[in-house]
Amino acid sequence: MANKKVILITGASSGIGKATAKTLVNHGHKVILTARSEDRLTKLVKELGEDSALSVPADATNFNELENVVTKGLNKFGRLDATFANAGKGLNTLGIEKGDPDEWATMLDININALLWSAKLTLPHLRKTKGHFIITSSATGRRAVKGSIYGASKWFTYGFGQNLAAEMSEWGGRCTTITPGAVNTPFTDEARPDKLYPQDVADAVLFALEANQRNNIREIHLRPTN
C-alpha cells in the first residue's frame, strides 16, 4: 500500500527500538534494524519476517558502519521514508565531581554523534520521499536536573530536533522529537509501576509517522500518569 513506509531504527535490538520495530511491522510498515547485538537482531528479524525487516549489525557511533546500514537498507527496500534515531546510553555514576570522564565520552558519542551521523546519512534519502526524522530525546532534556551529564546530552538532542525540524520543513520533510520520562528498559534501573513502558514510546512513534503529511508533529512529551 502507498501509505506503508520504510523506517530505519537505530538501537533496535531491545527496549524502545525493539518495541517500535514490532509495532511498525504489525501496522504494515517495513523496517531496517541496526544495533551492535547481531544475535538479538537476527532473532527479531525471524520474528518479524524477512519480507518486512532487515537487520544490519553496526555501531551507530561509527560513521562508516552506519553508512553501510543505510546502503544495505536501500538495496533491499529501494527507498527510505523515515529514520528513528533511537540509540542512546545513560550513566552509572551521577554528578559532576564523582563522574567518570571516560564514561561521559562513551555516552556522548552515542547520544550525540550517533544522532548526527544518522541525520547526515539519511537526510538525502528522506528528502526524496519528503520523509520523517524521529528522535528519542528525554524529559530530562526539557528541564534542569542537578549534576546530570546525561540530561545535558538530551538538551542537545532536544535542541537538535527543533533545529532539524526547521531545516526539513524547507523541503516538506517532518521531524518529531519524543521526550519520555523514565521507561522500563534495560537502559534504566529496576522496574517500577510509575515508569513508562517501551510500548508507550513505540505508540508515539507510530502516531507521528502515520499522521497526515500536512501535520508535522514536532514534539511528543510522555510522562507517567502516577
Catalytic positions are: 150
- Which of 100, 107, 101, 13 has the alpha carbon at shortest distance from 61? 107
Quote the CA–CA distance of 50 and 54 in Å, as a whole number.
6
Q: Report how many helices (DSSP H) and strands (DSSP E) the chain contains, helices first.
A: 7, 7
Backbone angles phi, psi at 196, to 5 degrees: -75, 170
How far apart CA 113 and CA 121 sit, in angstroms, is 12
Bridge partner residues of 30 (DSSP): 6
99: three-class secondary structure by DSSP:
coil
